[in-house]
A and B are shown apart, each in its own frame.
Chain A
Amino acid sequence: MMVTALLIIHGLVAVALLGAITHQTLSAWAPVKARPGSFFGRFRTVPPAAFANAVVVLYLAAAVLGGIIYLDFRVDVRPTLEQAGHWQVLGFFDLKEHFVAIGAALLPAYWVCWRRPRDDEPIRARAILTSIIAFIVWWGFLAGHITNNIMGFGA
């Protein structure tokens, strides 16, 4: 029961993180002179740096919650998936673990890039770093979602 509650909270935090990082990534890549009122123009009206603190906090919260749930996953869920032969799903989930760890270590650099930018720092580096974290968040969300639902697929 407790793990189910944590899993739901983990999912909700992940959705909030997904929204924040996607918004920031799109606004980081969107043209500066986007037409006002256009889709990218509206993205541009929100300063992307404002998302940085939220992304760091949400990422860490999602990672910590995931790290707690992972213990039960390893004991109760993974053996079932192994017995059912869902090797590819387990591979995707392993990649999620690796990517999330690498992404967590990038958070200090990400935060500095957005909150304390330097004049001589290439803006593209910040956008690429944000995109890497966005990719990791999307991968983690989809891999976690598929793993959560896999026993229902094709049932």
Chain B
Amino acid sequence: MTSLFAFRRFASAFGTAFAVFYVVALKLDLALFTVYPSLGLVVLGTHRARDAVDPALGFLAPAMYWYGWAGSAGCGALVVGLLAALLPEGLARRIWLGRFWVVPMFAMVACVYLTMPWFRL
């Protein structure tokens, strides 16, 4: 039963923290790793092809950051989730979170805002 309560705290904290960290990673371009699918290459951190060699490489070998943003957010959320799981039940109950879904909803709105440039082209 105790482990179930701990998992409940972990689950809600993880979902909430992931949403926040994902938006931060997206806004600040904090990818845990960068994928170059055409080269079959994975590089740690946010990596710009044109920084290293040539601007044309950005077109020939496109970089992908989505996996890295999710990785960054996942690592941060995992830490927050584990900390939440360690909280005493009484305190967690006070913080919890019949409304924890508000944070992911705001995060989705923030994602829409950050994606708006596509719709202005």
> A71, A95, A106: which contacts B112 (Cβ < 8 A)?
A95
Contacts of B37 in A (CB 8 A): 71-72, 74-75
Closest chain-B Cβ to A66's Cβ sits at a distance in Å of 11
Given A71-B35, A94-B115, A132-B101; A99-B108 close (CB under 8 Å): yes
Count how many chain A residues have C-beta atoms less than 8 Å from C-beta atoms of the other chain: 36
The answer to whether B115 and A95 touch across the interface, beta carbons within 8 angstroms, is yes
Residue A102 CB within 8 A of the other chain: yes
Segment 70-114 of A: residues with Cβ below 8 Å from B: 70-72, 74-75, 78-79, 85, 87-88, 90-91, 94-95, 97-99, 101-102, 105-109, 111-112
The answer to whether B108 and A105 touch across the interface, beta carbons within 8 angstroms, is no
> A78, A88, A97: which contacts B62 (Cβ < 8 A)?
A78
The answer to whether A101 and B66 touch across the interface, beta carbons within 8 angstroms, is yes
The answer to whether A74 and B64 touch across the interface, beta carbons within 8 angstroms, is yes
The answer to whether B19 and A91 touch across the interface, beta carbons within 8 angstroms, is no
Docked complex Cα distance between A102 and B109 (Å): 12
Count how many chain B residues have C-beta atoms less than 8 Å from C-beta atoms of the other chain: 40
Closest chain-A Cβ to B95's Cβ sits at a distance in Å of 14
Please, which residue of chain A has its CB at the minimum distance from the CB of B74?
Answer: A105
Contacts of A125 in B (CB 8 A): 98-101
Residue B30 CB within 8 A of the other chain: no
The answer to whether B115 and A116 touch across the interface, beta carbons within 8 angstroms, is no
The answer to whether A91 and B115 touch across the interface, beta carbons within 8 angstroms, is yes
Segment 18-50 of A: residues with Cβ below 8 Å from B: none
The answer to whether A91 and B101 touch across the interface, beta carbons within 8 angstroms, is no
Given A105-B74, A111-B11, A116-B8; A98-B26 close (CB under 8 Å): yes
Contacts of A74 in B (CB 8 A): 37, 62, 64
Please, which residue of chain B has its CB at the minimum distance from the CB of A103?
Answer: B104
Docked complex Cα distance between A70 and B82 (Å): 30
Contacts of A132 in B (CB 8 A): 101, 104-105, 108
> B10, B100, B121: which contacts A87 (Cβ < 8 A)?
B121
